[in-house]
Amino acid sequence: ALRPATSLPLHGVRALVTAGPTHEPIDPVRYLANRSSGRQGYAIAGALAAMGAQVTLVSGPTDLPPPPGVTLHRVETAEEMLAACEAALPCDVAICAAAVADWRVARPGTRKIKKSPDAPPPGLTLVPNPDILAHLSRPGPARPRLVIGFAAETDDVRDNAAAKRLRKGCDWIVANDVRAETGIMGGHENEVTLITATGMEHWPRTSKDAVARGLVHKIVTEIAPSHH
Protein backbone atom coordinates (compact mmCIF):
# COMPACT_ATOMS: atom_id res chain seq x y z
CA ALA A 1 0.00 0.00 0.00
CA LEU A 2 1.22 3.48 -0.79
CA ARG A 3 -0.66 5.00 2.13
CA PRO A 4 1.18 4.89 5.43
CA ALA A 5 -0.36 2.24 7.70
CA THR A 6 -1.35 4.85 10.27
CA SER A 7 -3.71 6.49 7.79
CA LEU A 8 -5.76 3.34 7.23
CA PRO A 9 -9.28 3.66 8.66
CA LEU A 10 -8.99 0.84 11.21
CA HIS A 11 -5.46 1.66 12.38
CA GLY A 12 -5.32 1.06 16.15
CA VAL A 13 -8.55 -0.96 16.15
CA ARG A 14 -8.38 -4.45 17.68
CA ALA A 15 -10.61 -7.05 16.04
CA LEU A 16 -11.46 -10.65 16.97
CA VAL A 17 -12.90 -13.00 14.34
CA THR A 18 -14.07 -16.60 14.80
CA ALA A 19 -14.25 -18.86 11.75
CA GLY A 20 -14.70 -22.41 10.57
CA PRO A 21 -16.40 -25.41 12.12
CA THR A 22 -15.51 -26.98 15.43
CA HIS A 23 -14.68 -30.64 15.84
CA GLU A 24 -16.11 -32.32 18.92
CA PRO A 25 -14.46 -35.64 19.69
CA ILE A 26 -16.41 -38.88 20.02
CA ASP A 27 -13.28 -40.93 20.63
CA PRO A 28 -9.62 -40.55 19.50
CA VAL A 29 -10.51 -41.16 15.82
CA ARG A 30 -14.04 -39.77 15.38
CA TYR A 31 -15.70 -36.40 15.79
CA LEU A 32 -18.89 -34.38 15.24
CA ALA A 33 -18.55 -31.47 12.80
CA ASN A 34 -20.43 -29.45 10.16
CA ARG A 35 -20.02 -28.20 6.58
CA SER A 36 -18.44 -24.81 7.36
CA SER A 37 -15.38 -24.08 5.17
CA GLY A 38 -14.22 -21.05 7.17
CA ARG A 39 -14.14 -18.95 3.99
CA GLN A 40 -16.47 -16.15 5.13
CA GLY A 41 -14.67 -15.64 8.44
CA TYR A 42 -11.20 -15.75 6.84
CA ALA A 43 -12.33 -13.22 4.24
CA ILE A 44 -13.57 -10.88 6.99
CA ALA A 45 -10.32 -11.23 8.93
CA GLY A 46 -8.34 -10.42 5.78
CA ALA A 47 -10.53 -7.43 4.90
CA LEU A 48 -10.19 -6.02 8.43
CA ALA A 49 -6.40 -6.37 8.30
CA ALA A 50 -6.33 -4.68 4.89
CA MET A 51 -8.05 -1.68 6.50
CA GLY A 52 -5.35 -1.51 9.18
CA ALA A 53 -7.01 -3.40 12.06
CA GLN A 54 -5.00 -5.59 14.41
CA VAL A 55 -6.77 -8.90 13.83
CA THR A 56 -6.87 -12.12 15.86
CA LEU A 57 -8.50 -14.96 13.95
CA VAL A 58 -9.63 -17.90 16.09
CA SER A 59 -10.28 -20.74 13.68
CA GLY A 60 -11.59 -24.25 13.88
CA PRO A 61 -10.14 -26.86 11.51
CA THR A 62 -10.01 -25.58 7.89
CA ASP A 63 -7.81 -26.00 4.82
CA LEU A 64 -7.33 -22.26 4.44
CA PRO A 65 -4.05 -20.33 4.74
CA PRO A 66 -4.06 -17.42 7.21
CA PRO A 67 -4.86 -14.11 5.49
CA PRO A 68 -1.90 -11.68 5.32
CA GLY A 69 -1.35 -9.62 8.45
CA VAL A 70 -3.67 -11.68 10.66
CA THR A 71 -2.70 -13.48 13.90
CA LEU A 72 -4.15 -17.00 13.63
CA HIS A 73 -5.03 -19.24 16.58
CA ARG A 74 -6.11 -22.70 15.53
CA VAL A 75 -8.45 -24.64 17.80
CA GLU A 76 -10.55 -27.79 17.50
CA THR A 77 -13.42 -27.68 19.95
CA ALA A 78 -15.94 -25.04 21.03
CA GLU A 79 -14.44 -24.96 24.51
CA GLU A 80 -10.97 -24.29 23.04
CA MET A 81 -12.48 -21.60 20.79
CA LEU A 82 -14.05 -19.83 23.77
CA ALA A 83 -10.76 -19.93 25.72
CA ALA A 84 -8.83 -18.53 22.73
CA CYS A 85 -11.40 -15.73 22.33
CA GLU A 86 -11.18 -14.80 25.99
CA ALA A 87 -7.39 -14.68 25.69
CA ALA A 88 -7.75 -12.25 22.76
CA LEU A 89 -9.75 -9.71 24.80
CA PRO A 90 -10.01 -6.78 25.13
CA CYS A 91 -10.93 -5.86 21.58
CA ASP A 92 -12.97 -3.14 19.87
CA VAL A 93 -14.95 -5.31 17.47
CA ALA A 94 -15.78 -9.03 17.54
CA ILE A 95 -17.20 -10.94 14.58
CA CYS A 96 -18.41 -14.51 15.18
CA ALA A 97 -18.49 -16.25 11.83
CA ALA A 98 -17.66 -19.71 13.18
CA ALA A 99 -20.15 -22.56 12.87
CA VAL A 100 -19.65 -23.67 16.45
CA ALA A 101 -21.02 -27.14 17.20
CA ASP A 102 -24.04 -26.66 19.43
CA TRP A 103 -23.36 -29.87 21.33
CA ARG A 104 -20.40 -31.99 22.30
CA VAL A 105 -20.21 -35.61 23.40
CA ALA A 106 -20.57 -35.73 27.18
CA ARG A 107 -17.76 -38.21 27.78
CA PRO A 108 -15.61 -38.80 24.68
CA GLY A 109 -13.95 -42.21 24.69
CA THR A 110 -10.25 -42.23 25.50
CA ARG A 111 -10.01 -45.45 23.44
CA LYS A 112 -11.51 -46.15 20.05
CA ILE A 113 -15.07 -47.41 20.40
CA LYS A 114 -15.15 -50.87 18.79
CA LYS A 115 -18.14 -52.20 16.94
CA SER A 116 -19.37 -55.64 17.74
CA PRO A 117 -21.77 -57.75 15.71
CA ASP A 118 -23.85 -58.48 18.79
CA ALA A 119 -24.01 -55.10 20.51
CA PRO A 120 -26.31 -52.25 19.36
CA PRO A 121 -24.66 -49.05 18.04
CA PRO A 122 -23.34 -46.85 20.86
CA GLY A 123 -25.65 -44.08 22.02
CA LEU A 124 -24.06 -40.64 22.13
CA THR A 125 -25.01 -38.44 25.07
CA LEU A 126 -24.66 -34.80 24.01
CA VAL A 127 -24.29 -31.73 26.23
CA PRO A 128 -24.57 -28.08 25.14
CA ASN A 129 -21.45 -26.15 24.19
CA PRO A 130 -20.76 -22.63 25.45
CA ASP A 131 -22.23 -19.90 23.23
CA ILE A 132 -19.23 -17.76 22.32
CA LEU A 133 -21.24 -14.98 20.64
CA ALA A 134 -23.61 -14.66 23.61
CA HIS A 135 -20.60 -14.66 25.92
CA LEU A 136 -18.83 -11.85 24.02
CA SER A 137 -22.10 -9.88 23.86
CA ARG A 138 -22.68 -9.83 27.60
CA PRO A 139 -22.71 -6.29 29.00
CA GLY A 140 -19.65 -5.35 31.01
CA PRO A 141 -16.42 -3.35 30.89
CA ALA A 142 -14.72 -5.90 28.58
CA ARG A 143 -17.55 -5.96 26.04
CA PRO A 144 -16.34 -5.02 22.56
CA ARG A 145 -17.92 -1.81 21.23
CA LEU A 146 -19.35 -3.72 18.29
CA VAL A 147 -20.30 -7.42 18.38
CA ILE A 148 -21.45 -9.03 15.14
CA GLY A 149 -22.90 -12.51 14.75
CA PHE A 150 -24.01 -14.66 11.85
CA ALA A 151 -27.27 -16.55 11.66
CA ALA A 152 -27.29 -19.74 9.64
CA GLU A 153 -30.92 -20.53 8.85
CA THR A 154 -32.87 -22.79 6.54
CA ASP A 155 -36.37 -21.42 7.30
CA ASP A 156 -37.89 -17.98 7.99
CA VAL A 157 -34.37 -16.60 7.60
CA ARG A 158 -34.98 -12.95 8.50
CA ASP A 159 -37.41 -13.52 11.36
CA ASN A 160 -35.22 -16.18 12.93
CA ALA A 161 -32.13 -14.01 12.53
CA ALA A 162 -33.78 -10.92 14.01
CA ALA A 163 -34.89 -12.99 17.02
CA LYS A 164 -31.37 -14.42 17.30
CA ARG A 165 -29.85 -10.92 17.41
CA LEU A 166 -31.99 -10.05 20.41
CA ARG A 167 -31.49 -13.39 22.14
CA LYS A 168 -27.71 -13.27 21.82
CA GLY A 169 -27.37 -9.59 22.69
CA CYS A 170 -25.11 -8.81 19.74
CA ASP A 171 -25.31 -5.49 17.88
CA TRP A 172 -25.59 -6.73 14.29
CA ILE A 173 -26.40 -10.08 12.81
CA VAL A 174 -25.64 -11.27 9.29
CA ALA A 175 -28.37 -13.67 8.19
CA ASN A 176 -27.65 -16.28 5.56
CA ASP A 177 -29.76 -18.97 4.01
CA VAL A 178 -27.91 -22.26 4.37
CA ARG A 179 -30.44 -24.55 2.66
CA ALA A 180 -28.40 -27.19 0.81
CA GLU A 181 -29.62 -25.98 -2.59
CA THR A 182 -28.12 -22.50 -2.04
CA GLY A 183 -24.60 -24.00 -1.95
CA ILE A 184 -23.63 -21.28 0.52
CA MET A 185 -22.36 -23.40 3.38
CA GLY A 186 -19.01 -24.72 2.17
CA GLY A 187 -19.16 -22.60 -1.01
CA HIS A 188 -17.50 -19.41 -2.28
CA GLU A 189 -20.56 -17.14 -2.47
CA ASN A 190 -22.97 -15.71 0.04
CA GLU A 191 -26.27 -13.85 0.01
CA VAL A 192 -26.93 -12.07 3.27
CA THR A 193 -29.24 -9.73 5.09
CA LEU A 194 -27.55 -7.40 7.58
CA ILE A 195 -29.79 -6.79 10.59
CA THR A 196 -29.05 -3.99 13.05
CA ALA A 197 -31.04 -2.28 15.81
CA THR A 198 -32.37 0.20 13.26
CA GLY A 199 -33.27 -1.98 10.31
CA MET A 200 -32.20 -4.56 7.76
CA GLU A 201 -30.62 -4.51 4.31
CA HIS A 202 -30.46 -7.34 1.82
CA TRP A 203 -27.28 -7.76 -0.24
CA PRO A 204 -27.58 -9.68 -3.52
CA ARG A 205 -25.61 -12.88 -3.94
CA THR A 206 -21.89 -12.26 -4.44
CA SER A 207 -18.51 -13.66 -3.42
CA LYS A 208 -17.68 -14.16 0.26
CA ASP A 209 -14.76 -11.75 -0.32
CA ALA A 210 -17.17 -9.04 -1.49
CA VAL A 211 -19.49 -9.67 1.48
CA ALA A 212 -16.44 -9.30 3.75
CA ARG A 213 -15.45 -5.97 2.16
CA GLY A 214 -19.03 -4.71 2.45
CA LEU A 215 -19.24 -5.66 6.10
CA VAL A 216 -15.87 -4.06 6.87
CA HIS A 217 -17.04 -0.89 5.14
CA LYS A 218 -20.04 -0.85 7.50
CA ILE A 219 -17.72 -1.40 10.46
CA VAL A 220 -15.54 1.55 9.41
CA THR A 221 -18.63 3.74 9.13
CA GLU A 222 -19.73 2.67 12.60
CA ILE A 223 -16.50 2.90 14.59
CA ALA A 224 -14.24 5.25 12.60
CA PRO A 225 -16.74 7.58 10.93
CA SER A 226 -14.17 10.32 10.29
CA HIS A 227 -12.45 8.00 7.80
CA HIS A 228 -15.65 7.20 5.98
Q: Which residues bind ligand CTP (CB under 6 A)?
A: 18, 78, 96, 98, 100, 102, 129, 131-133, 149-152, 164
Is residue 114 part of an annotated ligand binding site? no
Q: Does 189 bind Ca ion (CB under 5 A)?
A: no
What's the CA gap between 111 and 48, in Å, rounded?
A: 42
How far are the Cα atoms of 67, 90, 94, 123, 140 from residue 78, in angstroms, in the given order?
22, 20, 16, 21, 22
Q: Which is nearer to ligand CTP, 43 or 133 (CB)?
A: 133
Q: Which is nearer to ligand CTP, 13 or 136 (CB)?
A: 136
Q: How far is the CB of 18 from ligand CTP (least distance, A)?
A: 6
Beta-bridge mates of residue 149: 96, 173
Within the chain, strands assigned E span 14-19, 24-27, 30-32, 54-59, 70-74, 93-96, 103-105, 126-128, 146-153, 172-177, 189-195, 200-207
- Among 34, 129, 176, 190, the active-site one is 34
Q: How far is the CB of 6 from ligand CTP (least distance, A)?
A: 31
Beta-bridge mates of residue 192: 176, 203
Beta-bridge mates of residue 222: none
Q: Which is nearer to Ca ion, 78 or 219 (CB)?
A: 78
Q: Which residue is nearest to Ca ion (CB)?
A: 102
Binding mask 89-128 for Ca ion (x = CB under 5 A): -------------x--------------------------
Q: What angle do CA 93, 99, 103 make, to 5 degrees?
A: 120
Is residue 131 part of an annotated ligand binding site? yes
What's the CA gap between 22 and 110, in Å, rounded?
A: 19
What's the CA gap between 227 and 216, in Å, rounded?
A: 13
Is residue 195 part of an annotated ligand binding site? no
Q: Does 79 bind Ca ion (CB under 5 A)?
A: no
Is residue 92 part of an annotated ligand binding site? no
Q: Which is nearer to ligand CTP, 49 or 157 (CB)?
A: 157
Helix (H, G, I), strand (E, B) or coil at 40: helix
Residue 34 designated active-site: yes
Question: Residues in the site for Ca ion, rule: CB under 5 A?
Answer: 102
Q: Would you please indicate which residues are annotated as catalytic (active-site) residues? A: 34
Annotated binding-site residues read 102, 112, 130-133, 150, 164, 168
